[in-house]
Amino acid sequence: MTQEESRVTREAMPVGSIGDLERRVSKLNHRAKKLGVAELRVEVTNRRNVPIPPRGPGEPIRYREVVDAAVVGETPHLAGWVLVAVLDHDGPETVLRRVPGYNNLDLTRYRDAGPYCSHCSTTRRRLETFIVLNERGVLYASMNLLTNQVGRNCLTDFFGQSPEAVIWLAGWIREIGDMFDSMSNGHTEILVDSLAFLSYVSSCIRVDGWMSRTRANQTGLPATALDAWSLSNPPESHDTKWQKFAEKRIPTDDDRALATTALAWARELDPMDSSDYLSTLGRVARQDVVKGKNTGILASAVASYIRERDREARFQREIAESKNEHFGEIKKRYKGLVLEFIKATPHASDFGPTTLISLRTAEGHRLKWWASGHKSEFIDGRPGQHLIADFTVKSHGEWKERLETGVTRLVVKEWQA
């Protein structure tokens, strides 16, 4: 017995159907083990996003994620014969099912064939018969292909050996073919253009303010991400209430501009950032489309960008208002000074996490402290809050044409309300 491969393929299969296909093949492989034949395998290639035709003007760009799938198994060759088709007689008309790879073989004369077996020369009730090709006919008589129609009970006599492999091939090809034929797009996962989704996030924030999923669970109000997803993936039919909700949140030019800037900001985030949130946000933002499961974190890009933008503006304002002088004497330690907290920025390095903390003295001198570790009490702190601390002056420097003082060994004695 020599072996080739037969495959049943389905192009543009919904990604969500891969699991069903693998489960079906797994069940078939249990049967293969019992029969002692080679198991099947699933091949998935060419994963891509296919646009969904819009249902109306102004609808956001939506996609469905699809793949090309194939189920592959061995094609048995017994005693110089190979299975090329199965005739299904379980119905009012004969249905011819070809084995993949033999689509160009002329089997016209079998289209209306009854349940006849050429080996025993009898016609009787049969659910299926098998069309086999003499391989010598392909090699020496390609213009006169030698085929035979054989009933299931005659296969052993016809081949002179057990035909389980041939019956197995016919069975799994029929089962997988039926599955592919009946498959719809019911398992399709809708994908939405990332920028279009964030434009709706921006419009929702403009109208309703930002509502995280955590806060939404606490308050019972809808999360911004959920509203934006509904707007970017609208229902096929909707009532007047939905129409008013959607019309009030149509993205403006300013909403789209904010979304564009926020998306660009998120895409620049370091994938190796010490913050899991920022690392994940960057990875999701760098995808052209967003899945439903990732809408929460992508939606937060707009809120995080607004927060970072306002913090930076506040920081720049603080710099402008700061006293443009160095503070104190280098290497001298100062105790019990009241400082104003301005900003904290976490950083990652080969030597571990660090935090750059900006402070200001009561007189307006700018202080900079590179603290080792992740200083959560500062990162989570409120800009403008005051604290009492001891520190040592380390250096006198300049940043963006403003004088600043580097400090070290800072110890917070007390945070003030």
Q: How many angstroms separate the CA atoms of 156 and 39, rounded?
A: 22
From first to last of its 417 residues, what are the pLDDT tens digits of the chain? 345 788 888 888 888 888 888 998 998 999 888 888 889 999 999 988 888 877 666 677 788 888 899 999 887 777 788 888 889 888 888 888 888 777 788 888 888 899 999 889 999 999 889 998 887 654 433 434 578 899 988 988 888 777 787 888 878 887 887 777 666 555 567 889 999 999 999 999 999 999 988 888 777 888 999 999 989 888 776 778 888 998 899 999 999 999 999 999 999 988 877 777 888 899 899 989 998 888 999 999 999 999 888 888 877 777 777 788 999 999 999 999 999 998 898 887 777 889 999 999 988 899 999 999 888 888 888 888 999 999 999 999 998 778 999 999 999 999 987
Residue type present at position 66: V
Q: What residues pair up with 221 in beta bridges, in sequence order?
A: none
Q: Are 369 and 410 in contact (CB under 8 A)?
A: yes
Q: How many angstroms separate the CA atoms of 161 and 203, rounded?
A: 72
Which pTM was predicted? 0.53
Q: Are 289 and 63 in contact (CB under 8 A)?
A: yes
Torsion sign across C-alpha atoms 23, 28, 33, 37: negative
Q: What SS3 state is found at 87?
A: strand
Residues 6+ apart with CB under 8 A from 8: 70, 71, 100, 173, 176, 177, 180
What pLDDT was estimated at residue 187?
A: 55
Q: How many angstroms separate the CA atoms of 86 and 296, rounded?
A: 51
Residue 48, phi then psi, degrees to nearest 5: -160, 165
Residues 6+ apart with CB under 8 A from 170: 83, 86, 99, 128, 130
Q: How many angstroms separate the CA atoms of 298 and 277, rounded?
A: 11
Show the domains of the chain with their CATH numbers.
1-79+162-188 (3.30.70), 82-160 (no CATH), 190-314 (no CATH), 323-415 (2.40.50.140)
